[in-house]
């Protein structure tokens, strides 16, 4: 039987990469999805591919009203909201702290924390009342960088630690009504974008180099693809996880056994 039959999902950053793979997997499992993304082209493709199982909102996760529009759209189109997946994010491409000028550091901080951290605060706030009504759940996309060094530079690593703090406190405050968990993917072959203020300080590598570097960094030596993580999201979203809250499920090729 489908694990998410009849569930209504709101997901951010679902037009590409891990978010898109989650949308496809959730729909296969019987859910409907409302997707917020800043890529209007990506959303148009998603609508063509998935038809009436999906609703899309072109917007920005740093704008609270865009989340409100998305939650309202999910409730109007599908009658309720059961699951929030706060997934949109951006990267610092391992920019080195010592190389970056104070001006670029500040601009990078504002931009990356607004998207990766404030975006999750806003998504949770906009969805909380609707999720209370269904005793639903939230899932944040964090990262191996939420636990270990060498998964990004200081901006990305600090932002992923911050999201884990947000999910743990929310899991505490929202129990017993709403479960709050996260998936922590390891390095994955996607188009994860590097924020403009840090681009002068980093080398943007091609996909083959990226695949080699991802393989080298995880004990299972997998060049992970977005689809490799969807099982973790389906489990946490489903009623099979009804006793799980405040958890981060690592889907990272075994970073924990590196012994850092
Ligand atoms: P991606 O670029 O393929 O997907 C991210 C999506 O978010 C894109 O569709 C993009 O348009 C959207 N987005 C970005 N900023 C936005 C904004 N301000 N408002 C609305 N939409 C916005 O990248 P991905 O790798 O699939 O990233 C998804 C999540 O996975 C991120 O939170 C990222 O930190 C996390 N993650 C990625 C990796 C990796 O190696 N790719 C590893 C661990 C965690």
The alpha carbon of 1 and the centre of ligand 1 are apart by a number of angstroms equal to 30
Rg of the chain over Cα atoms, rounded to whole angstroms, equals 17
- Structure confidence by residue, pLDDT tens digits, 28-71: 999 999 999 999 999 999 999 999 999 999 999 999 999 999 99
The end-to-end CA distance of the chain, in Å, is 40
230 lines ligand 1 (CB under 6 A): no
Whose alpha carbon is nearest atom 41 of ligand 1? 188
Confidence of residue 259 (pLDDT cuts 50, 70, 90): low
> DSSP letters of 128-148?
HHHHHHHT-EEEEE--GGGTS
User: CB of 37 within 8 A of CB of 15?
Assistant: yes
C-alpha 163 – ligand 1 centre gap (Å) = 14
- Cβ(188) to ligand 1 under 6 A? yes
pLDDT > 70 fraction of the chain, expressed in percent and rounded = 99
Q: What are the CA-CA distances from residue 56 to residues 25, 52, 238 (Å)?
A: 17, 10, 22
Q: What pLDDT does 1 receive?
A: 74
Whole-model pTM over 0.95: yes
Q: What is the per-residue pLDDT for 87?
A: 98
Q: How many CA atoms lie within 13 A of 121 on its CB side?
A: 12
CA 59 / ligand 1 centre spacing (Å): 14
Q: Which residues are tagged catalytic?
A: 156
User: Rounded to an integer, what distance in angstroms lies between the CA atom of residue 236 and that of residue 248?
Assistant: 10
The predicted model gives 164-173 an average pLDDT of 98
Q: Which residues contact 139 (CB under 8 A, 6 or more apart)?
A: 83, 84, 85, 86, 181, 182, 183, 233, 236, 237
Banded pLDDT at 204 (limits 50, 70, 90) = confident
CB of 16 sitting under 6 A from ligand 1: yes
């Amino acid at each position: 039987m489908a694990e998410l039959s009849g569930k209504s999902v709101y997901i951010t950053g679902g037009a590409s990469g891990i978010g898109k793979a989650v949308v496809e997997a959730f729909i296969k499992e019987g859910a409907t999805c409302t997707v917020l993304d800043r890529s209007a082209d990506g959303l148009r493709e998603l609508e063509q591919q998935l038809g009436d199982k999906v609703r899309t909102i072109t917007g920005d996760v740093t704008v609270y009203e865009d989340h409100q529009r998305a939650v309202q759209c999910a409730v109007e189109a599908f009658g309720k909201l059961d699951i929030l997946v706060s997934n949109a994010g951006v990267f610092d491409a391992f920019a080195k702290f010592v190389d970056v000028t104070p001006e670029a550091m500040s601009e990078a901080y504002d931009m990356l924390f607004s998207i990766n951290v404030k975006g999750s605060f806003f998504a949770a706030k906009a969805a909380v009342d609707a999720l209370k009504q269904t005793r639903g759940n939230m899932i944040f996309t964090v990262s191996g960088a939420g636990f270990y060094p060498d998964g990004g530079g200081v901006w990305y690593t600090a932002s992923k630690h911050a999201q884990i703090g947000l999910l743990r406190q929310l899991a505490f405050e929202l129990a017993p009504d709403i479960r709050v968990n996260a998936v922590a993917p390891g390095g994955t072959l996607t188009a994860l974008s590097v924020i403009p203020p840090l681009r002068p300080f980093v080398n943007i590598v091609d996909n083959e180099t990226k695949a080699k570097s991802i393989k080298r960094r995880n004990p299972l030596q997998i060049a992970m693809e977005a689809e490799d993580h969807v099982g973790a999201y389906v489990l946490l979203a489903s009623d099979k996880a009804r006793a799980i809250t405040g958890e981060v499920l690592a889907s990272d090729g075994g970073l924990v056994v590196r012994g850092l």
